[in-house]
Amino acid sequence: MEERFVANNAQPTKDIFTTRWQAPSNIALVKYWGKTVPQLPKNASLSFTLSNAVTQTQVEFIPLDKPTQKVSFSIVFEGEEKPSFRPKLEAFFANILPYQPFLAHYQLKIISQNTFPHSSGIASSASSMAALAACLVDLETQLAKLSEEERMNKISFLARLGSGSACRSTQGAMMAWGTHPAISNSTDLLAVPVNDIHPVFTDFCDAILLIDKGQKQVSSTLGHKLMHQHPYAEQRFAQANEHLAALLPVLQQGDLDAFIFIVEKEALHLHAMMMTSDPYFILMQPNTLSVIDQIWAFRKDTGIPVCFTLDAGANVHVLYPNNVAAEVNRFIEAELLEFCQNRQCVHDKVGSGIKKY
């Protein structure tokens, strides 16, 4: 239990409180894969906060006559009640109730939607948990008068307890999560903004190619667990921390060649962990590899600094500086969309974190 995050001084009132927050997805450059209870990462990770792929969440807090043992809530997603979302939310609320005991005094009506296509294969747990955490901490801020820094830290802290990578979706343009010697205020408990970055990275583009929109064969929950007995786990955790240390000066200097080298290596190493776990699995599809081949050929032919990264799935994130967006978008249209399901691609870029909407 982290005592400093317990909202002991937040006294519930008898007023209805309604709030609306949106939070973006994020894409990790240095990947988090492997954790311990309660959702503490085995290595530090670093991500771009995105802009267009967001979850918008409204929470109405209705005061109850008597406090409940568990947080009482209803959930409507994109206009429909979603019983299938309840187990994950119940687990989240059970984790955070000790940190927000005032929640026992309210019925929560949660209404949520994503701005990106439903079931697109874009992970929505990061954006949805960050948006919900922002709503919960908004009430706490009213009840306990949190400072801006306390508010942002608490949002990231609670989001982490919902979905690890969600803690990196709260502020722009880059966030780091996990204790790392090169980032002085870093911690396993929440993500912190990384501010010292070259302007080329503050409006970097991410075109998300939707290669396979199907259900993932392996959930990230199981994937993290498989790192427990993984023969290469310790080397991988050490290597991710080394990649992060190497990336920080690259981000400051705007060194795109070094950026590409580290980012692509990270993506492939994440998938190498999946392919070498027990049981083993492959989340890439043949089209994932075709896209990677095309990106490498285009970069070689044109010298344009475009690269890829991957999440725990088949989709490819195509990363490039804004000043080459026109050429890269023509390339995506001409050479890459044919590898996507229904030629679908979500154009996103680096953003600035949670906002009221």
Please give the residue ranges that form the binding site for ligand PMV (CB under 6 A).
28, 31-33, 45, 123, 125, 163-165, 220, 224, 270, 311-312
Q: What is the DSSP string of 70-119?
A: S-EEEEEETTEE-GGGHHHHHHHHHHHTTT-GGGGGEEEEEEEEESSPTT
The answer to whether residues 74 and 108 touch, using CB atoms and an 8 Å cutoff, is: yes
Host H or E run for residue 206:
strand 205-209
CB of 224 to ligand PMV, least distance (A): 6
The closest of 331, 193, 319, 203 to 266, measured between CA atoms, is 319
CB of 165 to ligand PMV, least distance (A): 3
Distance CA 290, CA 303 (A): 19
Helix/strand/coil for 328: helix
Nearer to ligand PMV, 177 or 298 (CB): 177
Tokens of 323: 């000043």
Tokens of 271: 């998938």
Torsions phi, psi for 171 (to 5 deg):
-135, 160
CB of 120 to ligand PMV, least distance (A): 15
CB of 100 to ligand PMV, least distance (A): 21
The answer to whether residues 7 and 98 touch, using CB atoms and an 8 Å cutoff, is: no
Nearer to ligand PMV, 51 or 220 (CB): 220
Residues 6+ apart with CB under 8 A from 222: none
CB of 126 to ligand PMV, least distance (A): 6
Nearer to ligand PMV, 139 or 159 (CB): 159
Q: What residue type is 149 in one-letter code?
A: E
Distance CA 208, CA 103 (A): 37
Nearer to ligand PMV, 74 or 221 (CB): 221
CB of 283 to ligand PMV, least distance (A): 9
Distance CA 211, CA 279 (A): 24
CB of 228 to ligand PMV, least distance (A): 14
Q: How far is CA 23 from the centre of its chain?
A: 10
Nearer to ligand PMV, 138 or 311 (CB): 311
CB of 45 to ligand PMV, least distance (A): 4
The answer to whether residues 354 and 21 touch, using CB atoms and an 8 Å cutoff, is: yes
Q: Per residue in 300-335, is it b (16+ CB within 10 Å) or e — as a string?
A: eeeeebbbbbbbbbbbbbbbbbbebbeebbebbeee
Q: How many CB atoms lie within 10 A of CB 180?
A: 21
CB of 124 to ligand PMV, least distance (A): 10
Nearer to ligand PMV, 105 or 168 (CB): 168
Nearer to ligand PMV, 270 or 284 (CB): 270
Nearer to ligand PMV, 153 or 220 (CB): 220
Nearer to ligand PMV, 137 or 270 (CB): 270
Q: What is the DSSP string of 2-44?
A: -GGG--TT----SS-EEEEEEEEEEEEEE----EETTTEESS-
